[in-house]
Amino acid sequence: MATLKELADRTGYSPATISRILNGDPSLSVTPEARRKVLEEAGRLNYSATRSRRGRTPKGLLRVGVAEMLTPAQQLEDPYYLYLSGFVRQGCLDRKYTCLPLESRGEGFFAPEGERLDGIVAIGLFTPGQVESLAGLSGNVVFLDSSPFESRFDSVVLGYELGISLALEHLTALGHRRIGFVGPAYKLDDRRQRAPEVRRQFFLRLMAERGLLDRALMLDCPMETEAAARAVTGFLASGAPRPTAFLCANEESAIGVLRALSEGGLSVPGDLSVVSFNDTPRSALVDPPLTSVSTHVEEMARTALRLLAERAALPGREPVRTLPLKVVVPPSLAVRKSSGPVHEG
């Protein structure tokens, strides 16, 4: 796992500046290039630390198109997708695959002129029109972090229900009963249609099953740092009885919660525990380090490339399989300093 000192050595920025970037300090004036450099180097250092655990990579050279839901600028607002993209590209490099970014124009995706594709990794959520555009470029499309047409395409998705369950088991074991949720009530589904947000839905059901659900502790806000900070600040200002813990829909929301609690004079985890979702390399570097549901973005990317290779039709070689697969990557819980026992008194 990367440290602030290692990031400082790699990026040329001071540990203090890096810490402010990772914690989303709104008073810090920093270029998008600097922010991207810090986030990407954190991912590379984390990747290097885990390489020794890898087995052999698949043989054979492939030409892999990469389609992305978010623009590079949007990825800086949600680094989860930045890391997914980075691990796909790194995985291609390790396997000596040619990685070809696809251009997006409206509903269409386009390969570099004259380039042959053996398959496509599509990262994020896509409309039916975009899906058909990708299928027109290659019949071998693997969707990463969505599963829009399971009967046609391979996909790699998160185990959301298990992740929420692990977080709640951790918090209740620490004595927490008043647990709030920070995240949107609605979000886009696998076909980019408005639908109830899945993490929130699992939280509602699992808390109700435990007899602990209090809807007054459900804060509805976008999965963004500033939005989460505003939601928590407003909640604290209302004077309503506060929870002893917040479970956040993603890392950006958790960082916003940390900021709002600090500005409100509350300590984490002394006054209130915070648990995040996603656990990118950033989670271990913020202050305090976030207890987080780890979605194993590197393993998700590696699995997507494995599925793509299995269905690639190369000269003189038949695909390993033709039946599409959906792989649900089971999350785990990384326990760090942002969660602790309920504060007595």
**Tens digits of residue pLDDT in 19-35:** 666 666 666 666 777 76
Q: How many domains does the chain have?
A: 3
So what's the pLDDT on residue 315?
67
Residue range 326-335: mean pLDDT, rounded: 96
CATH number for the domain including 38? 1.10.260.40
For the cut 90, the answer to whether the pLDDT of residue 142 exceeds it is yes
- The β-bridge partners of 276 are 292
3-state helix, strand, coil in the chain (%, to 5): 40, 20, 40
Structure tokens at 108: 């269409």
Q: What is the mean pLDDT of residues 321-325?
A: 91
Look at phi and psi of residue 265 and say left if phi exceeds 0, alpha if psi is from -120 to 50, else beta. Answer: left
CA 321 to chain centre: 29
307 vs 236: CA distance, rounded Å:
47
Verify that 169 and 290 share a domain, yes or no.
Answer: yes
**pLDDT of amino acid 25:** 66
Domain CATH for 205: 3.40.50.2300
Does residue 78 lie in a domain region? yes
What is the Cα–Cα distance from 291 to 293, expressed in whole angstroms? 7
Query: Are 305 and 280 members of one domain?
Result: no
On whether both 177 and 275 belong to a single domain, the answer is yes
Note whether residue 180 is domain-resident: yes
pLDDT in tens, 170-220: 999 999 999 999 999 999 888 888 899 999 999 999 999 999 999 999 999
Q: One-letter amino acid identity for 189?
A: D
When pLDDT is averaged across residues 56-81 and rounded to a whole number, the result is 75
Residue type present at position 53:
R
Q: Is the pTM of this model over 0.75?
A: yes
Asked whether residue 19 falls in the same domain as residue 97, the answer is: no
Give the span between the Cα atoms of 71 and 69, in whole angstroms. 7
Determine contact, residues 251/291, Cβ cutoff 8 Å. no
* Residues in contact with 68: Cβ distance below 8 Å, sequence separation at least 6, in sequence order: 75, 81, 85, 101, 102, 104, 123, 124
Angstrom distance (rounded) from CA 93 to CA 144: 18
Q: Which domain holds residue 20?
A: 1-53
**Dist. CA 127–CA 49, nearest whole Å:** 36
- Is residue 327 in some structural domain? no
3-class SS of residue 227: helix
On whether residue 223 sits in a domain, the answer given is yes
Please report whether residue 321 resides in a domain: no
